[in-house]
Amino acid sequence: MKTITVALVPGDGAAPEMMDWACKIASAAARKDDVELVFEKTPMGWSAYEEFGDTLPKASFDRAVELGTVFFGGVGDPKFDNTIGLQHPEMKPEARCLLALRQRMKLLFNFRPMIYYPELRHLAQVRPETIPDEGIQQHFIRFLLEDSYFGNADFGDTIKHTVLESILGVKSKNNVTGEEAIVTDIAYYRRETIEKYIRAAFNYAKRLGLPLISIDKANVMARYEFWRRIVTRIGKEEFPDVPLSHQYVDSANALLFTPAKLHGVIACGNEHGDILSDAAAAALGSMGMMCSSAINPDTGAAMFESGAGTAPTLAGTDKANPIGRILTAALMLRHLGAVKGAAAIEEAVKTALKQGHRTGDMYVGGDPHQTLVYTKGFDPLHTSQMGQLILSLL
């Protein structure tokens, strides 16, 4: 038995209730591969603020980075944003925790596979006839560093007191007052990082036997002209067997309404990927089910975080849908080499849905004729019931 210690961020809102089950399921599944998972709590978010006076306590941050594998429940709660957050905007945990972890752990890419479940097609925001019977594969691999998210911080020291700061008003987010004449965010890409990322994206597409769709805005922006040239060169020289196409981000956005036209591995910049991946999840109906992982390919450091939000209005009710976290646990197991456990979790989720089990969110806006138990008197499962069920199906 191999023991692996994982940093656990239980998170805010309803995240801890969901993470509880995701951890139980991950531990049970990992044993199939002779892996014993130990979850060590490294609190972050508003729940940590209550205890430590910081949404990113230093001890938690350092330990999470040291352990190198983070299972992240999700942070953020408007209730706190509108109270403590007003006095201390720098404490808002979404950017504070996530961006710091991504940067310190050098998490170069972010995998967001959009898994389409036919049983949940009533939740998809696109017209049913746009999804072929055989389903759809959209695997987002988002570039997770640099770009407009990190430019100000990365170049902050370099540009201080220079003409750039005084003319262009480069500010950090928390210093913006609204009274400035002009404000900018620095967005940048480095060739070395882009090349490494693009090779990984091609390899991923190759492994899955899917085409690579590269998203950019090369018709307008320098960094995307740069991006497209690098993608084209690496594709031609190193991956001639992987079909490659380019899409401008605006047209890719429109194609999300006809998902079959974006079938493949989708490579996109940090900001583009942030925006497109939420829309893709909603288009295919899997927003509450989105799973996500962020990886440093050099060190193997990784963070696993469902994209599904913290459902603050459901905190303490045992009603949130834990499946996004549970599927994220599967990504974590696969990364840690527990491949049987990962597959078992994914199968168990499919079976639970096929058998007609649903949480409350899968009920919203639905067509009663399209799912098994979606009828009068339908009583959605609680977080713990769905968790228990998936655990028993492993």
Q: Residues in the site for ligand IPM, rule: CB under 6 A?
A: 94-95, 98-99, 274, 307
Residue among 364, 287, 360 at smallest CA distance from 327: 287
**Total length of the chain:** 394
- Residue with Cβ nearer ligand IPM (78 or 132): 78
Q: Which does 95 bind (CB under 5 to 8 A by kind): ligand IPM, Mn ion, none?
A: ligand IPM
| DSSP strand pairing (302-305 vs 293-295) | antiparallel
User: Least distance to ligand IPM from the beta carbon of 98, Å?
Assistant: 5
Residue among 69, 100, 77, 31 at smallest CA distance from 293: 69
- Is residue 261 part of the annotated active site? The answer reads no
User: Least distance to ligand IPM from the beta carbon of 136, Å?
Assistant: 21
The one catalytic residue in 49, 117, 149, 189 is: 149
User: Which residue has the CB atom at the shortest distance from ligand IPM?
Assistant: 94
Whole-angstrom distance, CA of residue 347 vs CA of residue 29: 11
User: Least distance to Mn ion from the beta carbon of 201, Å?
Assistant: 19
Residue among 286, 282, 279, 285 at smallest CA distance from 324: 286
User: Least distance to Mn ion from the beta carbon of 274, Å?
Assistant: 4
**Exposure b/e, 268-300, CB count within 10 A at least 16 = b:** bbbbbbbebbeebbbbbbbbbbbbbbbbbbeee
- Is residue 154 part of the annotated active site? The answer reads no
- Is residue 278 part of the annotated active site? The answer reads yes
User: Least distance to ligand IPM from the beta carbon of 379, Å?
Assistant: 33
Whole-angstrom distance, CA of residue 32 vs CA of residue 16: 25
Q: Taking a C-beta distance cutoff of 8 angstroms, is the pair 67, 61 a contact?
A: no
Residue type at position 248: Y
Q: Which of the ranges 136-144, 180-188, 215-223, 269-277 carries the binding residues for Mn ion, by CB under 5 A?
A: 269-277
Q: Which does 279 bind (CB under 5 to 8 A by kind): Mn ion, ligand IPM, none?
A: none
Q: Which of the ranges 133-141, 166-174, 268-276, 339-347 carries the binding residues for Mn ion, by CB under 5 A?
A: 268-276
274: contact with Mn ion by CB under 5 A: yes
The one catalytic residue in 81, 154, 278, 318 is: 278
The one catalytic residue in 217, 261, 340, 350 is: 217
Token output for 121: 């097609």
Alpha carbon 354 to its chain centroid, in Å, reads 25
The set of catalytic residues is 149, 217, 250, 274, 278
- The residue ranges that bind Mn ion (CB under 5 A) are 274
